[in-house]
Amino acid sequence: TLILAIESSCDETSAAVIENGRVIKSNIVASQIKSHMRFGGVVPEIASRHHVEQITQIIEESLAEAEVTLDDLDAIATTYGPGLVGALLIGISSAKALALASGKPLIAVNHMAGHIYANQLVEELSFPLMALVVSGGHTELVYMPEDGVFEIIGETRDDAAGEAYDKIGRILNLPYPGGKKMDELAHMGQDVYHFPRAMIREDNLDFSFSGLKSAVINHVHNAKQKGTEIVPEDLAASFQASVVEVLTTKTAKALEQYPVKQLVLAGGVAANKGLRTALGELMAEKYPSVRFSIPPLSLCGDNAAMIGAAAYTEYCKGHFASNDLNAVPGLELGE
Ligand code: ATP
Ligand code: MG
Ligand code: FE
């Protein structure tokens, strides 16, 4: 089964051809980071315009690299939420047009399901499964009793972890998005500040990162006022230590409550070295019988290959979208 998948929910324009939800035939990703950098964040109008300019060529490239034509495809999949409405609509319209022109079925994919299924491009998923999804807009624990079924069992009550990384990166004058650079700095510093670990002992599976973000930002402002020097490496290390400890502790709590066969890490922040290492250690020490997977760095950020992987499950279940599919900017898993 060959699926052409399209992703345009934020600032990456991407198209991929995926075989049986497992094999990447092609995965073309055009990032707009350079265009948004000088604004320190994604500007929705600029994102939409770039998607319009890029999408046709990206789709053509993905078909060419996979050495297939529209005729060879079994379905056309697109992200329909969550994300920026204008950005989403570009991918949705393109997918609809191609589905209509080729007579192939259309599949609507949840972007967050895509992040989880990025792991299926590494190895087959085994259910029941737990996913720790950490990205620019989401931080959630997702329980999957079976393929294609999602239950959010815990989530952030305020900021997403990636968002906190990027906002602190901005305060430290790091280029947008600051997460990657913060991760690099963290490995050169020490957790000397011991920022709070929000909600870590609370009897739930939720997170909160806005208090931590404020604590770090206040620290920087106070230092500036007093004229004392800040050590960005130590600040990044201290912030990351808090994020990683909270994420791993809550994941362990979730695994106690929901016995699973596999744990997967997903989302842009799955690229974080500190998190990958800490979670790997937790699993090896405490849950050696639970399989643990992390996507390769190339599949942590937004890409269409993960959308094609998630679309295959929908294809197998016969879940197809009609041609009046619309964008759902606030779409949640399990809806
Ligand atoms: P969502 O998936 O929630 O809709 P998004 O698609 O904008 O949001 P992703 O592309 O999945 O987010 O992830 C981007 C986020 O990942 C950014 O916040 C970025 O800073 C963060 N990120 C990337 N690499 C790292 C890293 N090594 N350490 C920490 N954060 C990182
Ligand atoms: Mg992005
Ligand atoms: Fe994403």
Q: How does pLDDT run across 261-274, given as a tens digit for each residue?
A: 999 999 999 999 99
**pLDDT value, residue 38:** 86
Average pLDDT score over residue span 232-261: 98
CB 3 within 8 A of CB 75: yes
Query: ω before 288 within 30° of 0 (cis)?
Result: no
**pLDDT value, residue 201:** 95
- % of the chain at pLDDT higher than 70: 100
Q: How far apart, in whole angstroms, are the C-alpha atoms of residue 104 and residue 95?
A: 10
**pLDDT value, residue 52:** 96
pLDDT at residue 19 tops 90 = yes
Instruction: State the ligand closest to the CA atom of 36.
Output: 2
The pocket around ligand 1, CB under 6 angstroms, is made up of 10, 82-83, 111, 115, 135-138, 162, 165-166, 177-180, 183, 267-269, 271-272, 301-302
Q: Kindly report, residue by residue over 112-135, the tens digit of the pLDDT.
A: 999 999 999 999 999 999 999 999
Band (54; pLDDT cuts 50, 70, 90): very high
Q: Kindly report, residue by residue over 179-209, the tens digit of the pLDDT.
A: 999 999 999 999 999 999 999 999 999 999 9
Average pLDDT score over residue span 2-14: 98
- pTM for the whole structure: 0.97
State yes or no: 134 annotated in a binding site.
Answer: yes
**pLDDT value, residue 40:** 87
Average pLDDT score over residue span 309-333: 98
Any idea what the Cα angle at residue 34 is, between residues 58 and 164, rounded to 5°?
A: 110
ipTM: 0.98
Helix ranges, 38-84 (H):
44-66
Tokens of 255: 């695994």
The two beta strands, 129-134 and 151-155, are: unpaired
**pLDDT value, residue 335:** 83
Longest dimension (CA), the chain: 67
Q: How far apart, in whole angstroms, are the C-alpha atoms of residue 328 and residue 169?
A: 29
Q: How far apart, in whole angstroms, are the C-alpha atoms of residue 275 and residue 162?
A: 12
Give 118: exposed, middle or buried? Use CB within 10 Å, 0-12, 13-18, 19+.
buried
Distance 223 CA to ligand 2 centre (A): 32
Which residues are within 8 A (CB) of 190 and not within 5 positions of it... i.e. 6 or more apart? 233, 234, 237, 238
Which residues are within 8 A (CB) of 42 and not within 5 positions of it... i.e. 6 or more apart? 10, 11, 32, 36, 84
The two beta strands, 139-144 and 151-155, are: antiparallel
Distance 118 CA to ligand 3 centre (A): 11
The two beta strands, 129-134 and 139-144, are: antiparallel
Q: Kindly report, residue by residue over 246-256, the tens digit of the pLDDT.
A: 999 999 999 99
Q: Kindly report, residue by residue over 147-183, the tens digit of the pLDDT.
A: 999 999 999 999 999 999 999 999 999 998 999 999 9
**pLDDT value, residue 169:** 96
Instruction: Quote the mean pLDDT of the chain.
Output: 97
Ligand 1: residue of 180, 181, 276, 279 to mutate (most ligand atoms within 8 A of CB) is 180
Measured CA distances, 84 to 43, 48, 88, 286, 330 (Å): 10, 9, 6, 39, 9
Q: Which atom of ligand 1 is nearest to the CA of 267?
A: 11
**pLDDT value, residue 225:** 95
Tokens of 303: 């890409």
**Residue owning the nearest CA to atom 24 of ligand 1:** 180
* E strands present in 111-210: 129-134, 139-144, 151-155
Q: Kindly report, residue by residue over 65-118, the tens digit of the pLDDT.
A: 999 999 999 999 999 999 999 999 999 999 999 999 999 999 999 999 999 999
